[in-house]
Structure 1
């Protein structure tokens, strides 16, 4: 066993060629001498669930949104009893997180306050959720309405005759502020209901563990599975379009199509084809506004949505058509899962004495109620909102290229958001007076250096954690969402033969079942086409945009995630075995290897 401590965050070496990387990020997001005493004595883990890759300076916005909002709702609004927020630091372009526990002497008072505040939400959950959707949809419409057009040589006459009273330059600055602040506002909504929702599930979880000491985490999770939620709607729409293609008799054209544009042009020649294309277009917005990040969606600007590239959803529709023609069932086994849910729930309920059954009924019903939001919020926030935010940011970057500020639309994303605000003011001031903006010459060498540093940072293999090893990992979300347990931490430090050889991988038992099959390593969306029926998908984490492959694979193994991660939840919804939070399966397994995935025990074994 190695030394019982991870590297100090102040002693992590800078990768060769990445010297000066700290200037790419906001100073408050970095480790600093001012906080050294407390930061060096805290446990930090790399957030590979939300931010597995190097973060562009502009994309730091995404980290900041959840850093502040999660902390405020846990610590200051709902008074979550055991936990404050999750602190963040950036090291070599990667995000590290440290959960902060509430002081033990405050827990009792916070529990009393939490019961009153969260209780109000639980009692009025459906009404609050309806209003929540209205708030988020309004925010989404607000940023969709923003336009970042190039500044005109001369304002149109309407500016004068409508008495508008402000200039296009002012609006460019204002609308960028609206874009950013609306995302910050939306993340307040994101955590308005999320963590109290998790708390309700944790209450149910705790009740079950106390009442049924031998119950598995999976059995608890399966008592709330089989839900009809909007998160699965995009995949359901692809299946519906596939069925419509077969019904309309255009399945041959879909199966032989090379790309979406060619297919749509071909289908324009028939009434059935035009009907199907119209259906596709009506469906695509908003249901194809789906981010394709490898893992948690929305964290990076570089990934397209289904709406950006219709070939992505078309590939899945084509596969569904082929399977329908082969007589296969393509729908999720929701009814079977619901029946299984009720069977498990009844079995455990029957074990209780009559006076405890009412309490059990209450906690299971609340867990099922809140779980709809826990799953569905990702569609509204991580997909619709972030996809639109990145699209509008790219629109702005193209305008800055049109004005000669940048050479490439990607240049803007090597600036921090405050630097973008400064650039906009410089441009607008120069435009207003008929002068020359300084930004082009000022930023060109900075961006060139940051591009070079960014590339060097991508070569760095991040350490999984920093600082002292905790005696036990007990913070609920760290365990259930990230899948970081005491056993995980010990395995990170373990240099035993089994761990080094890569023959056995241990993680969280995410979804039940035992299967054997060949490994298919999937790191990003573009590799999904390689998946064959019966493959074991091994990936860093899954994204909701990957849903179409879940009806092809035999099981999933992920590097990150816990029992409440998307990977675990979606595998339970599709009835597939899953082992999540293995830590390093992607790096150590090889494509084509045969493995046994035991979703009941959380063990993956290499068979050859």
Structure 2
């Protein structure tokens, strides 16, 4: 375990606008906050409409989850007015998470600790946090957790497939028909989308909490048997929603299915798909056609069925290596744990698919509302709708819209020039980027260290991808990006390895790379700035290193 001596800070190099009335700037006061992992689902700057979809539903379902698992008392369900009492918030347009509060919850779960949570999240334990709960403070809720946790987990496991079927039918019925909705119908659909989004979260949250614990137990098991990583021991027997996406893209590239069938199956995906204002494949199928062309052009790319067979062999070999280091009794326990943990990828990806369908109906509803308001002269442009909140649109006080949009657009542009530190206390001190997008002088480095989240070693040429719209993957490419979401899934089979700035063993890139058998190093923090297109690198997804073997030409 690495001890980080200080929390990152930064000094702004230009004045920051007055943000007192901004709905996407609600920072904490004294506790530690971070963007780590939160910006995987909400990359970049969130608009007021996107944030109003995610908050309060995400905070509320997280609190409900901790109560239902027995970690918090029922009195803690209500969202506190003090921002430091929350788990999530937003600062300078960036979604942020409360490191200290998350750590306190993790420490109250049997076998968990704040230090373990931070190690999984950051790759190190950050200094300056709240003291680790000990003794009776830590253990007093253990008996309640022991009773309530299995009940909540069984309920979520049972509810997940049923909710997935319901959500898929609802998405097909709503997202493809809202273009004809009147203003009241579109507004009602937007409110309903937030409700469905919250339902998806209510099932996804306890499974995510359980997944985190299971991954920790598998990692401990692997280390006790002398293996470096537990990630190779986790494989879904049935594959995930990501596998189906990649499989169908292959089928489309081979003309086995048409574009309409593909879109009706996966149209809610696309670049920055967690943001309501993004454009997804349902709205622009040319992105899918371009991806299919890349697949056709690379006939040597491993077929998905062959990939599944290879991944199963690698998994079986990893389990055999594990068993050689265990006694017969512990082998039985290990097999049971690994079998149960094999559900983790499906839990995570099915839950994300449910949530993203809710986001997409909100997207379709908002676009239709924007069209109506622009036609009526209330908004100057249909896209202005994304600078209003769901509650403001539902209230229908249209006389205030123009003023709110003008101010928030100005704030949004200012946020886009700011970068936040990795971890900070209270309100972050952002760095203002220069005209070329940099925040500091580039330094020559020889290697990067992060978290090894998908085992294996691969060499290739760096391709830094900052915008999925412009992604180009060629033979021998090491894909380097800040983070990934399901919209990136179609690029993974075209890469030799993946390197991300943020993430953990349970991040999207880690799960997909393990399923596909690709080496992955997550949480390098500076991969997209320290690595440059054309560099030749060796990625070790077992130990978590990226070694630069040659400079960019």
TM range (shorter): 0.7 to 0.9
Aligned to 1:232: 243
Does residue 244 of the first structure (1) align with residue 255 of the second (2)? Answer: yes
Which TM-score applies when normalising by structure 2? Answer: 0.79
- Return the alpha-carbon distance in structure 2 between the equivalents of residues 234 and 334 of structure 1: 14
Deviations 1:391-415 (A, max 9, x none): 1111111111122211101112112
Task: Look up the match of 1:503.
Answer: 446
Q: What is the total number of aligned residue pairs between the two structures?
A: 492
Q: Which range moved further: 533-542 or 188-197?
A: 188-197
CA distance in 2, matches of 1:301, 1:583: 26
What's the secondary structure of 2:499's corresponding residue?
strand
Specify the SS of the correspondent of 1:333. helix
Tell me if structure 2 keeps the 8 A contact 1:517–1:534.
yes
Structure 1, gaps ≥5 residues long: 33-38, 152-167, 246-275, 428-438, 469-494
TM-score w.r.t. the length of structure 1 is 0.72
Matches within 5 A, 1:146-185: 147=178, 174-185=188-199
Q: Does 1:306 align with 2:281?
A: yes
Q: Highest CA radius of gyration, 1 or 2?
A: 1
Aligned to 2:139: 108
- Do structure 1's residue 323 and structure 2's residue 266 form an aligned pair? no
2:26 matched to which residue of 1? 30
Map of 1:74-153 to 2, 5 A cutoff?
Answer: 74-80=65-71, 87-99=87-99, 100=101, 101-102=104-105, 103-104=133-134, 105-120=136-151, 127-137=158-168, 140=171, 144=175, 147=178
Corresponding position: 1:454 with 2:412:
yes
Pick from 175, 180, 187 the counterpart of residue 201 of structure 2.
187
Stretch moving more, 67-76 or 233-242: 67-76
Aligned counterpart, 1:387: 360
For the 8 Å contact 2:160–2:351, the answer to whether it is kept is no
Deviations 1:294-351 (A, max 9, x none): xxx41x1232212211111111222222334xx6543261111112212211232243
Whole-Å Cα distance in 2 between the matches of residues 31 and 19 of structure 1?
15
Q: 1:584 to 1:374 in 2, by over 3 A?
A: same
Structure 1 range deviating more: 111-120 or 531-540: 111-120
Deviations 1:120-178 (A, max 9, x none): 35567764433333453465467549858676xxxxxxxxxxxxxxxx85x66655433
Whether 2:248 is the aligned partner of 1:280: answer: no
**Would you say the 8 A contact 1:518–1:595 is kept in 2?**
yes
* Aligned partner (choices 224, 228, 234) of residue 216 of structure 1: 228
> What stretches of structure 2 of length at least 5 have no aligned partner?
78-84, 106-132, 427-439
2:50 is the alignment partner of 1:59: yes
Which segment drifts farther, 180-189 or 453-462? 180-189
**In 1: Cα distance, 2:155 partner to 2:200 partner:** 21
Check the 8 A contact 1:559/1:584 in 2, yes or no. yes
The DSSP-based 3-state class of the residue aligned with 1:520 is: strand
For 1:502-521, list aligned pairs within 5 A. 502-521=445-464
Residue 582 of structure 1, CA deviation = 0.4
